[in-house]
């Protein structure tokens, strides 16, 4: 029964993509506006400080390409593959972008998926360029190494900090290690995962959004937030990025300890989310229950849990996590699909940034992508990317 539900959601996604494509020109959607229309920006907008404030730029463009590829897998219609190829031409220059960790978010769903589906080396080589940029962001300190998330590396503000989101950019490095037969990509990713475990994860397995380090000594200076409600709060999407990243780190390294850590982080996420299975945008917003939700966090977690289930050496745990992923996806399909024609997104009630009042109670491009990725993992396993292989017990 859930299979029908999931396939229908993928069909809705495919229909909306074809309707929206001719309206976009060279821009890419990122959040829906109150009217239901997409807000868009060109792929070329990089991250940086503008008048002293930070802007993430366009880290969404690869997700649109990923959705086109998923629509191709679902329908078999070559039109989608052609559109994805054309869109990748616009995204490609970002592979040289040294300003941000987001090259992982940009090229994992786009070039790497296109390479997996078609075997075309052009896509693989493009993703490898991006992976080199991400690996360069590793900052070495006497206490370990971390990947700097935001900003040009020569800017001290960027060098000294890292965000939990970076964990979900690591799959680009892990993929590159296999593609280029260069294990140093895995070592860089694992170094970051190790430092993140020490610096970002509290004793109750909640996470900080961002950490500032002393670059000279590697000491942790402070935890802070950019998109959460307070420095000491737990931002559910950050928690979701951590779960996703540790599952993929377990897959890349074969180490059970990262799988166990992902389970603890997921337990925390599910306990704080409660039976609705879609969290408020921040677990600790004092305005709860009068606060917006963030459906994208649950989409990311559902995708991570499917991989966790595939990797888990214990049958019972594997079944439990898979069931949990399916339950989340069923809730999203039944209660959060944007079925009305005016609303151009797929998944309602995402929250890009409440503190910046951007994309609140909206569809958000990453929510749509991770939702579709998870649906694909459930009903078209192995087609978008290889299903992870079970770890040794």
Considering the complex, state which of residue 165 and residue 251 has its C-beta at the smaller distance from ligand GLY: 165
**Contacts with 384 (C-beta within 8 Å, 6 or more apart), sequence order:** 66, 69, 70, 73, 113, 116, 117, 373, 376, 377
**Contacts with 142 (C-beta within 8 Å, 6 or more apart), sequence order:** 217, 218
Alpha-carbon gap, residue 199 to 163, rounded angstroms? 11
Of 107, 162, 165, 200, which one interacts with ligand GLY (CB under 6 A)?
165
Considering the complex, state which of residue 85 and residue 284 has its C-beta at the smaller distance from ligand GLY: 284
Site for ligand GLY in 46-75 (CB under 6 A): 56
Considering the complex, state which of residue 30 and residue 213 has its C-beta at the smaller distance from ligand GLY: 30
Alpha-carbon gap, residue 167 to 130, rounded angstroms? 16
Minimum distance, C-beta of residue 217 to ligand GLY, in the bound complex (Å):
27
- What are the backbone angles phi and psi of residue 254, rounded to the nearest 5°? 75, 10
Nearest to 107 by CA among 176, 202, 14: 176
Alpha-carbon gap, residue 85 to 117, rounded angstroms? 12
Alpha-carbon gap, residue 347 to 16, rounded angstroms? 12
Maximum Cα–Cα distance across the chain: 56
Minimum distance, C-beta of residue 353 to ligand GLY, in the bound complex (Å):
7
Of 209, 237, 343, 385, which one interacts with ligand GLY (CB under 6 A)?
237
Instruction: Return the CA Rg of the chain.
Output: 19
Minimum distance, C-beta of residue 178 to ligand GLY, in the bound complex (Å):
25
Considering the complex, state which of residue 87 and residue 237 has its C-beta at the smaller distance from ligand GLY: 237
Q: Is residue 115 at the binding interface for ligand GLY, with CB under 6 A as the rule? A: no
Q: Is residue 354 at the binding interface for ligand GLY, with CB under 6 A as the rule? A: no
Q: Hey, which residues does 133 pair with through a beta bridge? A: none
Minimum distance, C-beta of residue 101 to ligand GLY, in the bound complex (Å):
9
Nearest to 364 by CA among 347, 379, 339, 378: 347
Site for ligand GLY in 197-236 (CB under 6 A): 227
Minimum distance, C-beta of residue 223 to ligand GLY, in the bound complex (Å):
17
Element (H, E) at 48: strand 48-50
The CB-nearest residue to ligand GLY is 165
Task: Look at the block and give the residue holding tokens 């050496």.
Answer: 313
Considering the complex, state which of residue 74 and residue 354 has its C-beta at the smaller distance from ligand GLY: 354
Minimum distance, C-beta of residue 287 to ligand GLY, in the bound complex (Å):
20
Considering the complex, state which of residue 102 and residue 307 has its C-beta at the smaller distance from ligand GLY: 102
Contact (Cβ atoms closer than 8 angstroms) between residue 237 and residue 296: yes
Alpha-carbon gap, residue 293 to 74, rounded angstroms? 29
Considering the complex, state which of residue 39 and residue 380 has its C-beta at the smaller distance from ligand GLY: 39
Considering the complex, state which of residue 56 and residue 135 has its C-beta at the smaller distance from ligand GLY: 56
Minimum distance, C-beta of residue 313 to ligand GLY, in the bound complex (Å):
30
Nearest to 301 by CA among 237, 208, 383, 214: 237
Minimum distance, C-beta of residue 273 to ligand GLY, in the bound complex (Å):
17
Q: Hey, which residues does 147 pair with through a beta bridge? A: 138
Considering the complex, state which of residue 149 and residue 324 has its C-beta at the smaller distance from ligand GLY: 149
What is the binding site for ligand GLY (CB under 6 A)? 56, 165, 227, 237
């Amino acid at each position: 029964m859930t299979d029908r539900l999931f396939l229908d959601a993928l069909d809705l996604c495919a229909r909306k993509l074809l309707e929206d494509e001719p309206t976009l020109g060279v821009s890419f959607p990122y959040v829906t506006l109150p009217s239901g229309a997409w807000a868009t920006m060109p792929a070329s907008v990089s991250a940086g400080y503008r008048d002293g404030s930070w802007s993430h730029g366009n880290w969404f463009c690869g997700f649109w390409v990923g959705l086109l590829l998923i629509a191709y897998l679902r329908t078999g219609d070559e039109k989608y593959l052609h559109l994805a190829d054309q869109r990748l031409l616009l995204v490609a220059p970002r592979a040289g972008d040294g300003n941000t960790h987001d090259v992982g978010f940009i090229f994992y769903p786009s070039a790497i998926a296109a390479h997996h589906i078609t075997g075309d080396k052009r896509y693989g080589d493009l993703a490898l360029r991006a992976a080199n940029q991400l690996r360069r962001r590793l900052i070495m300190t006497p206490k370990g190494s971390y990947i700097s998330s935001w900003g040009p590396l020569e800017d001290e503000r960027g060098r000294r900090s890292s965000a939990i989101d970076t964990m979900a950019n690591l799959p680009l490095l892990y993929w590159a290690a296999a593609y280029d037969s260069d294990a140093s990509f895995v070592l860089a990713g694992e170094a970051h995962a190790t430092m993140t475990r020490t610096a970002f994860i509290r004793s109750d397995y909640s996470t900080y959004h961002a950490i500032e380090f002393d670059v000279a000594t590697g000491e942790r200076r402070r935890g802070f937030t950019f998109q959460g409600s307070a420095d000491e709060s737990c931002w559910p999407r950050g928690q979701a990025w951590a779960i996703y990243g540790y599952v993929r780190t377990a897959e890349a390294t074969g180490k059970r300890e990262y799988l166990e850590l992902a389970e603890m982080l997921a337990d925390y996420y599910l306990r704080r989310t409660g039976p609705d299975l879609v969290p408020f945008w921040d677990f600790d917003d004092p305005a709860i229950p009068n606060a917006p939700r963030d459906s994208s966090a649950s989409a990311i977690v559902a995708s991570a849990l499917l991989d966790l289930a595939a990797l888990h050496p214990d049958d019972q745990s594997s079944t439990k996590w898979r069931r949990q992923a399916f339950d989340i996806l069923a809730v999203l399909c039944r209660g959060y699909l944007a079925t009305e024609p005016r609303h151009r997104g797929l998944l309602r009630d995402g929250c890009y940034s409440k503190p910046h009042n951007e994309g609140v109670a909206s569809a958000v491009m990453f929510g749509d992508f991770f939702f579709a990725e998870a649906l694909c993992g459930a009903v078209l396993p192995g087609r978008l990317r290889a299903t992870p292989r079970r770890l040794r017990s």
